Amino acid sequence: MSSRTSYVTRSSRSSGATISPAPGWPARLESHGVVVRSLRRSDADDWQAVRARNQDWLAPWDATVPPGGAPRPASYGLVTRALLRQAKRGQTLPFVIEVDGRFAGQVTVSNVARGSAQWGSIGYWVDAAVAGRGVAPRAVALVIDHCLGPVGLHRVEICVRPENTNSLRVVEKLGLEQVGYAPRFLHIDGDWRDHRIFAVTREEVPYGIEQRLSTHQSHQ
């Protein structure tokens, strides 16, 4: 099955010129039964249900606020409003993963830098109910290809705790190279945690990460 991508650009009514502060956003990406689409405010109930059901599964890998840090938004609505504001400015791309039409996780591209950098960082999580079915690798592959294509980034990185074997399997399946190790990099599950850093640039995958993944799976 081939992948499908659609996205919308916003136009200026007064001049008729196309304005793209956030190229490639909003978007809908689809391949092999996995859909990745832009986050919506109406996802609140599904998001809360999936997160509640997966609290123990996700807590060891969730970002937390360090002592003295600004408190995080207290509700889904506040979080979503902040993310969508950032998305309109091209700073963050918050995606939802759907499997069989159901909310199954998220992929978020954050810290998007333009200018001479042209890079972003990807984080992701999936419902334990779909773990082991190739959903996370497929969703992340779709987002990486979208970032290196329509979004216009040159480099994408993924930072993973050494203890997070599930996420390490994702980057392994995608063939991403470890480019660094960052001690005490992010505040996760109540403390500063080390992370392995994986990255890919546009030149490394001229045919896309998703095609690389499909080729890898066909030879298994």
Which CATH number covers residue 54? 3.40.630.30
Q: What is the CA radius of gyration of the chain?
A: 17
pLDDT at position 21: 65
* pLDDT averaged per 10 residues in sequence order, the chain, 220 residues: 51 41 91 97 94 94 89 81 92 97 97 97 97 97 98 98 97 97 96 98 96 78
Domain carrying residue 175:
4-218
Give tens-digit pLDDT for 50-100.
999 999 999 999 999 999 888 877 688 888 999 999 999 999 999 999 999
Total-model pTM: 0.89
Residue of 164, 76, 15, 139 whose CA lies nearest to 147 = 139
How many separate domains does the chain show?
1
Return phi, psi of residue 50, to 5°: -70, -40
| Residue 45: HSE in the Cβ half-sphere, 13 Å Cα cutoff | 2
Residue 219 has a pLDDT of 67
- Closest CA relative to residue 199, chosen from 85, 91, 118, 94: 118
